[in-house]
Amino acid sequence: MSWTITLDKRHIQASLMFLVLAVGIITVNAVTPGVSHPADEITAGTIAGTLTIKDGKVGIGTTEPQSELDVAGNVNANNIVLKNLPDTAPSTNLADIICDIDPRYCVQLYNNNHAQRECTEAGGTVVTVETSVNICQFSARSCPSGWTWYKNWCTTSRDCCSGDNLCSSDDCCTGSHSWANKDAEKCSYRDDFPYCSWSSCRADITKIGCY
């Protein structure tokens, strides 16, 4: 049995190295990226009063680990995925489960009006605009009920409108634009003989940003 470890330059040191795994701590005097280390290099014990291997369990901050990994303190991770959950669980993602228990801990969109999970559940996609603003992008002409259009973020497609021939008006066609904070394009044409008043033709919105 062997373990393969891959470390970048920040982790390579000439001194003693420690790598915490789900089953133990690998102690080596020198580390080369991609090298396999035999199982006999995994040893039990306590290191500097912080890391402990006991009965196949790893303890961090505790010398009496009760689970395969027992941490007495905070855990900082980008994501934690859980397995073997009941069918009623909303997700295998720990953040989603916490959100389901208490909405106050949901990852929020702009202005905290809606959680990111609400966006995906409503058929939208979470997107980041203006560097750091998270909103929900819907493939629709308007925001769903209870949602608000964020500024003018949208995608449009060209539309053409026909005027009344008796008003001597040509057809009017709008422009279009890809995803941007921009007004939907408009053009004007004469309609409604005999008054021949000006009417406005507006580009179709195909995607819209909401919060």
- pLDDT tens string 63-101: 888 988 888 888 887 777 777 766 766 667 777 777 777
| Shared-domain flag, residues 133 and 193 | yes
* Residue 61, pLDDT above cutoff 70: yes
Which of 119-133, 165-179, 186-200 is most confident? 119-133
| Shared-domain flag, residues 30 and 97 | no
The answer to whether the beta carbons of residues 144 and 152 sit under 8 Å apart is no
| Shared-domain flag, residues 92 and 163 | no
Residue 40: the pLDDT is 55
Cross-strand partners of 68: none
Q: How confident is the model at residue 42 (pLDDT cuts 50, 70, 90)?
A: low
How much is the average pLDDT of 177-203? Answer: 92
Q: How confident is the model at residue 49 (pLDDT cuts 50, 70, 90)?
A: low
- pLDDT tens string 98-156: 777 777 778 899 999 999 989 999 999 999 999 999 999 999 999 999 999 999 999 99
| Shared-domain flag, residues 209 and 168 | yes
Residue 47: the pLDDT is 67
How much is the average pLDDT of 180-189? Answer: 96
Residue 7: the pLDDT is 35
| Shared-domain flag, residues 91 and 135 | no
| Shared-domain flag, residues 153 and 180 | yes
Residue 103: the pLDDT is 74
Q: Cα separation of 105 and 121, whole Å? A: 17
CA distances to 40, 64, 75, 164, 199 from 50, rounded to whole Å, are 22, 11, 14, 83, 75
**Contacts of the segment 178-183: beta carbons below 8 A, 24+ positions apart:** 179/137, 179/153, 179/154, 179/155, 179/207, 180/153, 180/154, 180/155, 181/129, 181/130, 181/151, 181/152, 181/153, 182/152, 182/154, 183/152
How much is the average pLDDT of 196-202? Answer: 91
| Shared-domain flag, residues 131 and 198 | yes
Q: Is the peptide bond before 38 cis (omega within 30 degrees of 0)?
A: no
Determine the structural domain holding residue 90 and report its residue range: 77-106
| Shared-domain flag, residues 41 and 115 | no
| Shared-domain flag, residues 119 and 207 | yes
DSSP per position, 9-44 = GGG--SS-EEEE-SS-EEEESS--TT-EEEGGGB--
| Shared-domain flag, residues 36 and 98 | no
* Residue 171, pLDDT above cutoff 90: no
| Shared-domain flag, residues 99 and 112 | no
Choose one of 56, 90, 106: the last residue of a domain: 106
| Shared-domain flag, residues 132 and 208 | yes
Q: Cα separation of 84 and 82, whole Å? A: 7
Q: Which two tokens stand for residue 2?
A: 């062997």
Q: Work out how many domains the chain is built from and give that number.
A: 3
- Mean pLDDT, the chain, rounded, equals 78
